[in-house]
Amino acid sequence: MGKISGSKMLLKCLREEGVEYIFGYPGGKVIPIYDSIYDEKKIKHILVRHEQCAAHAADGYARATGKTGVCMATSGPGGTNLITGIANAYMDSIPIVAITGQVSTIEIGTDSFQEADITGITSPITKHNYLVKNVKDLPATVKEAFYIASTGRPGPVLIDIPIDVQNALIDENIKAEINLPGYKPTIKGHLKQIKEAAVKIYNSSKPVIFAGGGVVSSGGNEELTEFARLSEIPVITSLLGKGSFPESDELSLMMAGMHGTKFANLALTEANLIIGIGVRFDDRVTGKLSEFAKHADIIHIDVDPAEIGKNVKVKIPIVGDAKNVLADLIKEYKTIRDEKGDASRQEWLKLVHKWKKDYPVSYFNNSHSLKPGYIIEKLHEIVKENAIICTEVGQNQMWAAQFFKCSKPRTFISSGGLGTMGFGFPSSIGAQFGCPDKMVFDIAGDGSIQMVSHEFATAVVNKLPIKIILLNNGNLGMVKQWQELFYKKRYSETIVRGCVDFVKLVEAYGGVGIRVKKKEEVEKAIKDAISIDNLVLIDFHIDPDENVFPMVAPGAPIKEMMVLGKEKK
């Protein structure tokens, strides 16, 4: 039997897991792996310009495709640069496997050059991590890592491989077996609980569904849509739940929370039953917790039992994967409905539709200034549901969430839990690799994009025709908005006007830049960008005073929303 090196074995294991891309950056303690990558035929390595973006790209790839993303970095600073990306994936439950090099096993603990305790550092932000001290453990470790990352509540797993383990020889045909006695995620919901929930839902006069990222990651969007239409219950989503239910549907109340729609927040407040599916009742959605859903019983469906009862009191807990539980719930609900007829909740639906009409998401559509809402509505009009939208974090993200109506899962990619500026563009790189036939857009702000503009090189080198919709207001807008509203307009370090020519910047990397200052130019610019087979950045000079409304003030109940004021002339 032939023997191969640990690094060759690593690639063999990754091939067996179906890995297509590794987003990474070489360094001293991964040279053996990169030497093996030199001969690799099947897996493509994508060289990023900063390790953090390798993790974000793997994350974007995973969100767009549903497969596990892979990133790689060297020991020490390579690993520590991955951390923001790993934490981001952890907060949003995204399956990625991060592979880091490590100093040799005999040097571990001696503070040797480029040594960092990356398993120690990433323990709180990974679902699990491994330090592989013996090459014979490597195949099983890789297998387990992919299994853990992608099952149950998904999340990032890190594998730290010392350089001597990469070089050590191992029997090529060694059998890898998963041995995880403590890991058995519950996928099927408890039928008794589901039956109880179906009865409760049927009898409820004012129910709402609150759907989150768990519906998207379980692939349960069709079941959700079927269930909502069957039971005629309005659907609210979290930011990560966007795409789990078509936002063009009559029953959709779009996103709830701090910058959600007023009608979603009102529905959550007035409902007497909330069916939470794959959500974690995060503080951005609940607002003041003691005032949240005071009149409602809560049914909580989640694959992670630790989420149930963590933030809100739950009447009927159901542990299970959203897709499976919804399929069972549909069956149970149908049985009841077939026996008793449609549930009567017309009054509630009428009220919800009235709210929807009374409080639309809007902006002042005038001729003298360029509004972000207008740009995103135009973008939606042009690309419809045939694009993947990635966002940065801040005002740009909230405008994207408010004005881009999503109808398919895995088409709205945004950093939810961690709120990572600089996530959008590298994630769009991962998404474009994962979905080469789709148009990929990054809705960005001028603050966020400057954190990752070096990745323009990665996009251009790899001929990725990503389009950046830059909502340039010369502000670190979301913080500036808070300063305006809650800190007496003391704009500390948030006005960053006029220092970068973004058109020239993207051109320096070999991409195409278009500048837009007038409303009339918006449509043409977007259409032109789409027709160009290259990285395009459209630098939209938007109204610098435009803020994100509606808004729930921090610590306030979600029904109390600050809305769009009078238009300034």
Q: Which pair of tokens denotes residue 560?
A: 């109390």
The residue (of 278 and 373) whose beta carbon lies closer to another protein is 278
The residue (of 309 and 510) whose beta carbon lies closer to another protein is 309
3-state secondary structure of 511: coil
Cα distance between residue 320 and residue 519, in whole Å: 48
The residue (of 206 and 280) whose beta carbon lies closer to another protein is 280
Cα distance between residue 155 and residue 125, in whole Å: 9
Residues of the shown chain interacting with another protein in the complex, contacts defined by CB under 8 A: 119-120, 123-124, 127-128, 131, 148, 180-183, 304-306, 309-310
Residue whose pair of structure tokens reads 């767009």 in the numeric block: 64
My answer on whether omega of the bond before 181 falls inside 30° of 0, hence cis, is: no
Minimum separation from the CB atom of position 320 to another protein (A): 15
User: Is 547:483 a contact under the CB 8 Å cutoff?
Assistant: no
The residue (of 181 and 436) whose beta carbon lies closer to another protein is 181
Minimum separation from the CB atom of position 456 to another protein (A): 37
Question: Which helix (H) or strand (E) is 487 found in, with range?
Answer: none
Report the greatest alpha carbon distance in the chain. 80
Question: Which helix (H) or strand (E) is 55 found in, with range?
Answer: helix 51-65
The residue (of 99 and 452) whose beta carbon lies closer to another protein is 99
The residue (of 36 and 93) whose beta carbon lies closer to another protein is 93
Cα distance between residue 182 and residue 56, in whole Å: 29
User: Is 430:404 a contact under the CB 8 Å cutoff?
Assistant: no
Minimum separation from the CB atom of position 143 to another protein (A): 13
Residue 101 phi/psi, 5-degree rounding, is -80, 160
Question: Which helix (H) or strand (E) is 77 found in, with range?
Answer: helix 77-91
How many CB atoms are closer than 10 A to CB 465?
19
Minimum separation from the CB atom of position 157 to another protein (A): 9
Minimum separation from the CB atom of position 14 to another protein (A): 20
Q: Which residues pair with 162 in a beta bridge?
A: 102
Minimum separation from the CB atom of position 115 to another protein (A): 16
The residue (of 2 and 124) whose beta carbon lies closer to another protein is 124
The residue (of 160 and 546) whose beta carbon lies closer to another protein is 160
Q: Please, is 153 exposed, middle or buried when counting C-beta atoms within 10 Å of its C-beta (0-12, 13-18, 19+)?
A: buried
Q: Which pair of tokens denotes residue 275?
A: 């069916």
Residue 213 phi/psi, 5-degree rounding, is -60, -25
Minimum separation from the CB atom of position 119 to another protein (A): 7
Q: Which pair of tokens denotes residue 125?
A: 């932000």
Cα distance between residue 225 and residue 247, in whole Å: 11
Cα distance between residue 547 and residue 376, in whole Å: 15
Minimum separation from the CB atom of position 279 to another protein (A): 17
Minimum separation from the CB atom of position 425 to another protein (A): 30
The residue (of 91 and 389) whose beta carbon lies closer to another protein is 91
Minimum separation from the CB atom of position 483 to another protein (A): 30
Question: Which helix (H) or strand (E) is 203 found in, with range?
Answer: helix 191-203
The residue (of 119 and 391) whose beta carbon lies closer to another protein is 119
